Structure 1
Amino acid sequence: MTTSARHAVPAPATSAPVGRAPGRTPVRPVTFPRLVAAEWVKIRSLRSTWWALALAFALFPLLAAMRSASIATIADEAPPGFFVGPAYVTSGVSLALLVLCGLGVVAVTGEYRTGQIRSTLAAAPTRLPALWAKLTVVVGLAFATAFVGTLAGWAAAAPWFDVIGMNVDLTDAEHVRLMIGVPLYLAAMTALAYAIGAMIRSSAAGITAVLGLVFVVEPAFAYIPWEPLQQLAAYLPTAAGARLVTSDSIGSIVTGSGVTALSPWEGYLVLLGWVAAALVAAAVLLRRRDA
């Protein structure tokens, strides 16, 4: 080895410019709007979400048209003003309730089935913001679907209005209540189903519990010919909330309860009380249990 090679001084390494960290992405704080945006990305990426929403939407115009066409044949036998337009326009509310409640349950239980809930809770260590963010997205979708579906039902039933002698009068307080009450009612029931799903954490068990409550337990209370049970049935979530979408002349197409101890908005407040209690229970369990 030559003397010049032995005493050569190594060249200094090239350093990155001061203040720059190549390959690093700035970390943004987790905020509630970002959690909502993340939940929106998750729920919209599932094909089952869009199938459920499409089915819930389609039920409104389909059943509105079918029911309006069926009563058009007997319209001449009814007295003037007997048919209440919004009650027929919103005929799809009962079956849409079934679909949207299922969506509310699966939206939260699906993450437990796949294990994605661990990543969700890692992003929101306090846990409750993640619960509220998903609730915001699910309830927003349910309300929007029911609102647009109600308008579609109105358009689908309109061709029979003149034959039947009915209409939708937005200057009539009852008509307005029935039209806006459907999306409000379905959004609240979806929130209740979501809370039950968050408590049970199983899709099958959660859907069974919700549908059993709505379509088995509550109707049983309403139809048992014992006055105390029928009075109690009026304060159960489905029957109480259904007062908002109950016509004063033809009754409710959602529940069999004929008790009218609550006014429409009082009944809706009772339903919101059930929703709040269920969400509080879901929040307590989420904080106390492992993912």
Structure 2
Amino acid sequence: MSALTAKGIVRSEWHKLWTLRSTWITLLTGCALVLTVGITMGATYDGDDAEIDTIVFTLFGTQLSQICLAVLGILVTAGEYSTGLIRASLAAVPSRLPVLWSKAGIFAAVAFTVCFVTNLVTFLTAQIWLSGTDKELSLTDSGVLGALASSAASLTLLSLIALGLGALLRSVPGAIGAFVGAVLILPEVLSMIPFSAVETTVKYFPAQAAGSLGSIDRVENTIAPGTALLTLALWSAVVIATASVLLKRRDV
């Protein structure tokens, strides 16, 4: 029997990711949503939304694709528990943690690449209609590539949080409910509390931090983009680290 290697674990997780039908469905759906909404926004622009940042305007569909990527992240981890495949995976890798970390690393690389390429294509396609308007931009303009990349990074990190929740809860419906409730809905509820301390704290929640990214100009009433990126990275690291601890301690 060949020795267990990190390369072998990564290759195995890569193969599992791409042999799942859900991977192709969620990724293609997410890409289609971003591209379709971007084209629609560009083709119907009449100057009424001149105050909206061009990248935010073009990539409005990422608010929908975010759910697709989160669901895929959850399926990558919790999906194996629902099928029972996790037993074989952990039996092959008794130390367990390399399995979760390989899943997270591969998923992050795939999600960022797909999101960034989709953002590029959507931006360039939308500019066919936006050319000659006040939203005309090119990739060489200052801040454009950075905004497209930071948008992809925010989606990737939010999806990693979902992946970690899947590993924590070991249930696809439970993890989806936790992501929607804790990441998307809870901050909106807390923001209704009329205290400045709560308002400031909410800005550092994942979805709100993600809202600071993906634009050329800084979004009003949000934390700085660099801080937002670090905040998202810390959230995802904490969730995955917690999942790692429980993976070592719990039975399969």
Q: Specify the TM-score bucket, using the shorter chain as the normaliser.
A: over 0.9
TM-score by length of 1: 0.81
Determine if the alignment matches structure 1 residue 278 to structure 2 residue 243: no
SS of aligned partner of 2:191? helix
Q: What is the distance in 1 between the residues matched to 2:53 and 2:213?
A: 15
Question: Are the aligned partners of 2:26 and 2:68 in contact in 1 as well (CA < 8 Å)?
Answer: yes
Give the AA of the match of 2:84.
G
SS of aligned partner of 2:221? coil
Question: Are the aligned partners of 1:108 and 1:194 in contact in 2 as well (CA < 8 Å)?
Answer: yes
Give the AA of the match of 2:163.
Y
Match of 1:57 in 2: 31
Match of 1:267 in 2: 228
Match of 1:106 in 2: 75
Runs of 4+ in 1 over 4 A off after TM superposition: none
Q: What is the distance in 2 between the residues matched to 1:184 and 1:127?
A: 27
Alpha carbons of structure 1 residues 225 and 246: separation in structure 2 relative to 1, 3 Å: farther
Instruction: Give the number of the structure with larger relative contact order, counting CA–CA contacts within 8 Å between residues 6 or more apart.
Output: 2
Determine if the alignment matches structure 1 residue 145 to structure 2 residue 114: yes
SS of aligned partner of 1:164? coil
Give 1:168 shift: 3.0
Give 1:148 shift: 1.6
Determine if the alignment matches structure 1 residue 31 to structure 2 residue 20: no
Determine if the alignment matches structure 1 residue 242 to structure 2 residue 175: no
Match of 1:159 in 2: 128
Match of 1:128 among 97, 102, 113: 97
Which structure is larger by alpha-carbon Rg, 1 or 2? Answer: 1
Match of 1:97 among 66, 71, 77: 66
Q: What is the distance in 2 between the residues matched to 1:222 and 1:170?
A: 36
Structure 1 stretches of 5 or more lacking a match?
1-26, 252-257
Identity of aligned residues (%): 31
Q: What is the distance in 2 between the residues matched to 1:128 and 1:228?
A: 37
Q: What is the distance in 2 between the residues matched to 1:202 and 1:54?
A: 24
Give the AA of the match of 1:280.
A
Determine if the alignment matches structure 1 residue 188 to structure 2 residue 157: yes
Query: C-alpha offsets along residues 189-230 of structure 1, whole Å, 9 cap, x if unaligned?
Result: 111111111000000000100111232112222344432221
Q: What is the distance in 1 between the residues matched to 2:141 and 2:226?
A: 16
TM-score by length of 2: 0.92
Q: What is the distance in 2 between the residues matched to 1:83 and 1:114?
A: 45
Alpha-carbon RMSD: 1.9
Give 1:87 shift: 1.9
Q: What is the distance in 2 between the residues matched to 1:230 and 1:73?
A: 32
Query: C-alpha offsets along residues 168-199 of structure 1, whole Å, 9 cap, x if unaligned?
Result: 34444432321111111111111111111100
Q: What is the distance in 2 between the residues matched to 1:98 and 1:130?
A: 24
Q: What is the distance in 2 between the residues matched to 1:174 and 1:201?
A: 40
Q: What is the distance in 1 between the residues matched to 2:61 and 2:131?
A: 21
Structure 2 stretches of 5 or more lacking a match?
none
